[in-house]
Amino acid sequence: MLKLYPPIEARKTGRLKVTDLHEIYWEESGNPDGLPIIALHGGPGGGSNPEMRRFFDPEIYRIILFDQRGCGRSTPHSELRENDTWALVSDMEAIREHLGIDKWVVFGGSWGSTLSLSYAVTHTERVLGLILRGIFLITDAEIQWFYQDGASRLFPDAYDRYVAPIPEAERGDLLHAFHKRLISDNRQERLAAAKAWACWEGETISIQGPSSRPAKFEEDAFADAFARIECHYFVNKGFFEDDGWLLKQAAEKLKGVPGIIVHGRYDVVTPLSTAWALTKVWPDAELHIVSDAGHSSLDSGIIDQLIRATRSFAKKFG
C-alpha cells in the first residue's frame, strides 16, 4: 500500500488580484522545472492544505495549489459576490499564464473534480490529463441524495445533528432552508447553520463515520466559508446551463484526454454511480474503485490509488 510523500514546504507563494474585489492565494512546491500539476481543493469553499502537496513526487512534479475565491487565504473571506464556477475557471487560466505554463495535469477531488472537468471542457488544449477522485457533477440527484435525505439512511445520527438548526416545517427543502440562514445578517443563526452543514460532511466523509470528523469542520471561519460558498453554488446548480450539462460536455470534449478516476465503493457524499456514468461517456478514463473506502482523500486505499495515478502520469508525461 503506497503512502503519501513526506511533507514539504511551499517553495514560492503569491497573491493574484483577479478582480477589484477578489485576490487569490497561490503557491508552488516541488521541482520548479518539473511536470506542472494544479491540485484543486474541494468544497467549494474548502481551501487548500499542505497535505495536498504530498500526493506528488516533489522530484518530478511542479506542484501548484491555490485557494479558490472566498476561502482559505484568499480574500475577501466567505465572499459570494463574483464567485461562481466560471470565475474559478478564469482564475485557473490567470494562474497558468502568470506562472508561464503551457499545459498541465489537473488533479481534483469532490468539488475539485467538478472544477477540474469544468476547466477541461473549456480549456481542453491546456490539459495534459486529469486525475480525479470522488466524482461530483452537481446534478439535482446528487444534491437531493446528500443534502436532502438519501444519505440519512446510512448516517441517521449525523443527519439529526445536520437538520437540527432547521424547523421541521422547512425540512422539505433543506438546501433553500440552509441558504436562507447562511446569507442571513444574524451571525449566530448563520454560524449555527454553517457548522451543522459543515459537520454533516465532516461526519460522513469516511467509512469510520462521525468519530473521524476532522476538527476543522467545527472551526467558525472554516465552516462559515465552506457552508456559505457550497450552498451558494448548489442553489445555483453549479452555474451550469442545465442539469447534467457537465456530463454531456465531457462526452463531447474529453475524447483523447487521458484520465484516472479514483472512487471509494462506500462514498456516501458523492456516490459511485456518478463516476460510473462519467466513464461510460469518457472512454479514455480509467476508473479505480477502492473496495474499502469512502469519500475521504486520506482513506488508505484512496491514497494508494492516487499515488499510483500520479506516478503513472509522471511516466507518461514526464
pTM above 0.85, yes or no: yes
Q: Can you tell me the mean pLDDT for 102-106?
A: 98
Residues 212 and 160 in one domain: yes
Can 110 be counted among the known catalytic residues? yes
Look up residue 172 and give its three cell numbers: 422539505
Q: Can you tell me the mean pLDDT for 101-120?
A: 98
Residues 61 and 146 in one domain: no
pLDDT band at 69 (very low <50, low <70, confident <90, very high): very high
Domain termination site, one of 238, 273, 302: 238
Q: Check pLDDT > 90 for residue 135.
A: yes
Residues 149 and 271 in one domain: no
Q: How far apart are CA 268 and CA 276, in angstroms?
A: 15
Tell me which of 74, 78, 110, 116 is the catalytic residue. 110
Residues 68 and 192 in one domain: no
- The percent of residues above 90 in pLDDT, for the chain, comes to 99
Say which amino acid occupies 22.
Answer: H
Mean pLDDT, the chain, integer:
97
Domain termination site, one of 184, 203, 238: 238
Q: Check pLDDT > 90 for residue 318.
A: no
Of 111, 118, 135, 90, the C-alpha closest to 227 is: 111
Tell me which of 57, 91, 267, 304 is the catalytic residue. 267
Among 55-69, 207-221, 278-292, the minimum mean pLDDT is found in: 207-221
Residues 29 and 148 in one domain: no
pLDDT tens by residue, 146-205: 999 999 999 999 999 999 999 999 999 999 999 999 999 999 999 999 999 999 999 999
Q: Can you tell me the mean pLDDT for 69-96?
A: 98
**What was the pLDDT predicted at 161?**
98
What is the residue range of 156's domain? 140-238
Residues 147 and 255 in one domain: no
Q: Can you tell me the mean pLDDT for 62-81?
A: 98
Tell me which of 67, 295, 299, 304 is the catalytic residue. 295
Residues 243 and 101 in one domain: yes
pLDDT band at 20 (very low <50, low <70, confident <90, very high): very high
Q: Can you tell me the mean pLDDT for 50-69?
A: 98
Residues 144 and 58 in one domain: no
pLDDT band at 277 (very low <50, low <70, confident <90, very high): very high
Q: Which residue has the cell 468539488?
A: 111
Can 77 be counted among the known catalytic residues? no
Residue pair 137/247 in contact by the 8 Å Cβ criterion: yes
Can 173 be counted among the known catalytic residues? no
